[in-house]
Structure 1
Amino acid sequence: MTNIPEISSYEDRAVDLVVSVINKAKEKLGEHLTLRQLTQTRENLTKEGKISLKNLRDPLVKTTEAFLRETIEKTWMLTRTFMYVLNYLGGSQDECSQYYYFEAIFSQPTAAYPIPQTTASVFFRVEDKHIEPVESKGVPIMVFRIAGFHTDHDVRFVTLSADWILAVLKMKMKLYQRIEEIKLF
Structure 2
Amino acid sequence: MQKSIFEICKKKREVLKYKACSIRGPLVWQSPSRRLTQPIVFSEAGYIIQNIQWTSGKDFTVERGQQQIEEYMSTWEFHESWLHWSDYLQEEELKYSKRYHYRVRWSIPTCRKPIPQATASIYFIIEISKIKPPTLPVEVFFILESNRLIHRPGQCRFREKWLKDIIESKMILMDSITF
Same fold judged by TM-score > 0.5?
Answer: yes
Letter in 1 for 2:115: I
Structure 2 residue 141 is matched with structure 1 residue 143:
yes
Within a 5 Å distance, the mapping from 1:118-129 to structure 2 comes to 118-129=118-129
Structure 2 residue 141 is matched with structure 1 residue 157:
no
**Please, which of 19, 23, 47 is the counterpart of residue 8 of structure 1?**
19
Say which is worse superposed, 145-154 or 60-69, in terms of deviation: 60-69
| Aligned mates of 2:79, 2:86 — CA distance in 1 | 12
RMSD of aligned alpha carbons:
2.6
Letter in 2 for 1:8: K
Structure 2 residue 85 is matched with structure 1 residue 85:
yes
Deviation at 1:65, TM superposition (A): 0.8
Structure with the largest fraction of strand: 2
The aligned residue for residue 178 of structure 1 is 176
Q: Is the 8 A contact 2:109 2:116 kept in 1?
A: yes
Deviation at 1:61, TM superposition (A): 1.6
Secondary structure in 2 matching 1:157: coil
The verdict on how the C-alpha distance between 1:69 and 1:8 changes in structure 2, with shifts beyond 3 A counting, is: same
Deviations 1:97-141 (A, max 9, x none): 110000001111112211111011110001111112335xx2111
| Aligned mates of 1:134, 1:83 — CA distance in 2 | 34
Q: Is the 8 A contact 1:120 1:169 kept in 2?
A: yes
Q: Point out 4+ residue stretches in structure 1 off by more than 4 angstroms.
A: none
The aligned residue for residue 72 of structure 2 is 71
| Aligned mates of 1:55, 1:166 — CA distance in 2 | 31
Structure with the largest fraction of helix: 1
| Aligned mates of 2:147, 2:20 — CA distance in 1 | 26
| Aligned mates of 2:55, 2:48 — CA distance in 1 | 18
| Aligned mates of 2:60, 2:152 — CA distance in 1 | 21
Deviation at 1:158, TM superposition (A): 1.6
The aligned residue for residue 50 of structure 2 is 50
Greater RCO (Cα-Cα under 8 Å, separation 6 or more) = 2
